[in-house]
Amino acid sequence: MPAAIALTVILALLAGFQLALALGAPLGRFAWGGAHRVLPARLRIGSLVSIVIYAVIALLALDRVGLIDVVPDGVSTVGMWVVFGYFTLGIVLNAISRSRPERSTMTPVVAVLAALSLVVALS
């Protein structure tokens, strides 16, 4: 259960970051390849989509450990393994980013998310 809560807290913080990006905060060097200080419209939309994805992941994690019951057990079980794969891929993609701030900040964050999602998937 602590892993699911930690995962949810980190995702909430990332959702806040993505919302700031979507609203035009000059933090683009930390996301989406770091090519833009302020994100263009298409990447702002991507940031909003990310918030929805983070919410679904949090829902799956909290359901998996039994804190909520909104999806069938099989969905949360398989879903958390998909999430683990998603974050594992995210480690690689952030690690090869051209943006040094993105590499140095987001790679460890996604590595922690991957580890937490693995713990939740195994629970």
Burial class (CB in 10 A: 0-12, 13-18, 19+), 50: buried
Each domain of the chain, given as residue ranges in start order, spans 2-122
Residues of the chain under the 70 pLDDT cut:
none
What are φ and ψ of residue 97, in 5° steps?
-60, 145
Residue 38: left if φ>0, alpha if ψ -120 to 50, beta else—which one?
Answer: beta
* pLDDT score recorded for residue 65: 95
The pLDDT of residue 35: 86
Q: Check residue 64 and give its pLDDT.
A: 96
Taking alpha carbons only, the member of 20, 18, 82 closest to residue 50 is 18
> DSSP characters for 38-107?
S--HHHHHHHHHHHHHHHHHHHHHHHHTTS---S-HHHHHHHHHHHHHHHHHHHHHHHT-S-HHHHHHHH
Residue-level pLDDT at 79: 96
pTM of the complete model beyond 0.85: yes
Quick one: pLDDT at residue 5? 96
According to the model, what pLDDT value does residue 67 have? 93
